[in-house]
């Protein structure tokens, strides 16, 4: 038997479950007969009997009068979960030579600064084999998973052969594999703890279909020794902050099942030190909470000597392996500037979720040709035997470093504080000095007013901190890779104009 969760207040208790969810068990223990699901496990779902067709028709008619017949409430909720800045990014008039006053896209984390180098290099002669036109293995083609495992070992500084391809599943993007993983680990209504500020779309990824509850892990009050709001340590999760979030979730009636860490951190543009990651890993194991390390920016660490990055896969590895509570997700969207290909990966050594993960992946498989194309790229070498991936990463890091140097130089010039970045495609900037002092407005309204001024008056579209559940208003994520060279230079001019106009 598994022990019970004991809350700090001892007011509520939640039964511990094995490191899987009931939905996971359903995949393993259910069978289908005549189109009806018949659970074989004790306590499983039963067919409803004893109701006439008239009873059912009456219930349907009554329900029809209470809600829309043309859409579902959960479909509408999915729309409402989308961060407002993403809607703004899609609807605003964007800059172009034909529309020079349009907004510059500095809010969506995408890399467009490598087109000139990337597109010619990726125009390869793809050798398609006959098996590509048929159904593929649900976890992904073996050749592609082998290539991805080798790439992971190189990027994350793991021993060669450390990644077992049986625990690796590739799917159509990081959000898809993350959602599937969470469905396998937690029940609807369970809590996912996430340190703030966090990637704004996590709420959509975890709530829209998986129906999980997101519990913010606030950190500022747990670091009294940190005096500067621009010190990265103020954002580090600690045992105290994790315990506090755990307790809040319990009080709200949600069993904490997952701690989701973004590492390198989005939107902060930094890496958590190894000692902080170890705190998170050990805390999860002691609480029997699953740790998911989202390392989608692990290949975009352009200041490694300052970043101090160590993957959760390396830090959590023991003589017994990762165990059932540590998991890893990744995609090629950021590090390879290939957001349009939709290539994501999840790795876990939890044997109980392998079959469910593979079954769920049926809904978000990558096309066979995309897998073959990506496998070819990952394995590609030049005439001298040099890896194409190594050459690409070197060029990418050079351009990332050049962009961040130019941007932070201007921020220093106009006295806008920022968190010194070491990784990712963005910098976390503190623009609280420009907030209105109107006491009739809430903090969110004050930040929204500043955000709209940046967009409408100066054509600068950023990610507002409120979307990331930041604890204080006036902070923004500035993506420095989502623009062409010309647009990036123009953004620096506009930052200067904004700061000078506000002083």
Per-position DSSP letters for 350-382, written without gaps between them: -GGGHHHHHHHGGGGPPPHHHHHHHHHHHH-B-
Which residues neighbour 139 within 8 Å (Cβ) at sequence distance 6 or greater? 145, 168, 169, 170, 357, 358, 361
- Tell me the per-residue pLDDT of 469-493, one tens digit each, with 9 for 90 and over: 999 999 999 999 999 999 999 999 9
- Tell me the per-residue pLDDT of 378-429, one tens digit each, with 9 for 90 and over: 999 887 888 999 999 999 999 999 999 999 999 999 999 999 999 999 999 9
**Cα distance between residue 414 and residue 239, in whole Å:** 38
Confidence check: pLDDT of 11 > 60: no
Q: Which residues pair with 429 in a beta bridge?
A: 418, 476
CATH code: domain 85-115+388-501 is 3.90.1150.10
Structure confidence at residue 66 (pLDDT): 59
Find the mean pLDDT for residues 59-65: 55
Structure confidence at residue 477 (pLDDT): 98
**Cα distance between residue 224 and residue 384, in whole Å:** 55
3-state secondary structure of 217: strand
- Tell me the per-residue pLDDT of 146-156, one tens digit each, with 9 for 90 and over: 999 999 999 99
Structure confidence at residue 480 (pLDDT): 97
* Summary mean pLDDT of the chain: 87
Of 116, 280, 283, 265, residue with least CA distance to 202 = 265
Q: Buried b / exposed e across 79-96, counting CB within 10 Å, b at 16+?
A: eeeebebbebbeebeebe
Q: Are strands 30-33 and 104-105 parallel, antiparallel or unpaired?
A: unpaired
89, 93, 239, 467, 481 from 84: Cα distances, Å:
9, 16, 32, 8, 21
**Cα distance between residue 142 and residue 333, in whole Å:** 21
Confidence check: pLDDT of 126 > 90: no
Confidence check: pLDDT of 35 > 50: no
**Cα distance between residue 13 and residue 9, in whole Å:** 10
pTM of the model: 0.85
**Cα distance between residue 312 and residue 327, in whole Å:** 8
Find the mean pLDDT for residues 332-341: 92
Structure confidence at residue 226 (pLDDT): 78
Structure confidence at residue 314 (pLDDT): 95
Find the mean pLDDT for residues 322-348: 95
Q: Would you state the structure tokens that stand for residue 119, as one six-digit string?
A: 């597109």
- Residue ranges of the domains in the chain? 85-115+388-501
Tell me which of 92 and 289 has the higher pLDDT. 289
Find the mean pLDDT for residues 427-438: 95
- Tell me the per-residue pLDDT of 445-475, one tens digit each, with 9 for 90 and over: 999 999 999 999 999 999 999 999 999 999 9
Look at phi and psi of residue 162 and say left if phi exceeds 0, alpha if psi is from -120 to 50, else beta. alpha
Find the mean pLDDT for residues 77-94: 80
* Omega within 30 of 0 (cis) for the link into 264: yes
**Cα distance between residue 270 and residue 166, in whole Å:** 31
Q: Would you state the structure tokens that stand for residue 161, as one six-digit string?
A: 């052969």
Structure confidence at residue 58 (pLDDT): 58
Confidence tier at 127 by pLDDT (50, 70, 90): confident
């Amino acid at each position: 038997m598994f022990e019970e969760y004991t809350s700090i207040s001892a007011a509520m208790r939640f039964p511990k479950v094995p490191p899987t969810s009931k939905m996971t068990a359903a995949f393993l223990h259910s069978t289908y007969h005549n189109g009806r699901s018949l659970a074989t496990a004790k306590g499983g779902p039963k067919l409803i009997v004893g109701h006439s067709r008239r009873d059912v028709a009456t219930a349907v008619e009554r329900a029809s009068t209470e809600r829309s017949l043309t859409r579902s409430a959960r479909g509408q909720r999915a729309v409402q979960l989308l961060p407002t800045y993403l809607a703004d990014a899609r609807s605003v008039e964007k800059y172009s030579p034909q529309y020079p006053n349009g907004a510059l896209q500095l809010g969506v984390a995408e890399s467009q600064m490598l087109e000139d180098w990337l597109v010619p290099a990726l125009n390869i002669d793809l050798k398609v084999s006959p098996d590509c036109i048929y159904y593929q293995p649900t976890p992904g083609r073996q050749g592609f998973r082998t290539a991805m495992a080798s790439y992971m070992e190189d990027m994350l500084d793991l021993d060669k052969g450390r990644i077992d391809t049986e625990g690796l599943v590739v799917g159509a993007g990081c959000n898809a594999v993350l959602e599937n993983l969470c469905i396998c680990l937690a029940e609807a209504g369970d809590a996912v703890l996430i340190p703030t500020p966090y990637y704004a779309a996590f709420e959509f990824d975890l709530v829209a279909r998986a129906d999980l509850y997101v519990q913010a892990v606030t950190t500022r009050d747990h670091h009294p020794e940190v005096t500067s709001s621009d010190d990265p340590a103020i954002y580090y999760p600690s045992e105290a902050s994790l315990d506090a979030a755990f307790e809040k979730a319990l009080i709200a009636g949600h069993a904490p099942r997952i701690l989701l860490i973004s590492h390198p951190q989005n939107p902060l543009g930094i890496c958590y030190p190894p000692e902080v990651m170890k705190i998170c890993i050990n805390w999860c194991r002691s609480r029997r909470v699953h740790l998911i390390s989202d390392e989608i920016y692990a290949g975009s660490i352009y200041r490694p000597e300052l970043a101090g990055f160590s993957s959760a896969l390396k830090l959590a590895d023991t003589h017994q392996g990762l165990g059932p509570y540590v998991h890893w997700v990744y995609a090629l969207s950021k590090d390879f500037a290939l957001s349009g290909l939709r290539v994501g990966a999840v790795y876990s050594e939890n044997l109980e979720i392998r079959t469910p993960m593979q079954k769920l992946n049926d809904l978000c498989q990558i096309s066979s040709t995309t897998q073959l194309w990506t496998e070819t790229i990952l394995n590609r070498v030049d005439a001298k035997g040099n890896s194409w991936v190594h050459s690409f990463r070197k060029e990418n890091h050079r351009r990332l470093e050049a962009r961040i140097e130019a941007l932070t130089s201007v921020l220093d010039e106009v006295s806008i504080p920022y968190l010194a970045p070491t990784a990712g495609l963005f910098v976390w900037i503190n623009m609280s000095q420009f907030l209105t002092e109107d006491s009739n407005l809430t903090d969110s309204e004050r930040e929204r007013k500043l955000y709209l001024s940046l967009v409408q008056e100066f054509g600068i579209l950023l990610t507002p901190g409120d979307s990331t559940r930041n604890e204080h208003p006036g902070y923004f994520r500035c993506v420095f890779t989502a623009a062409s060279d010309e647009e990036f230079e123009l953004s620096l001019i506009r930052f200067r104009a904004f700061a000078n106009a506000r002083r």
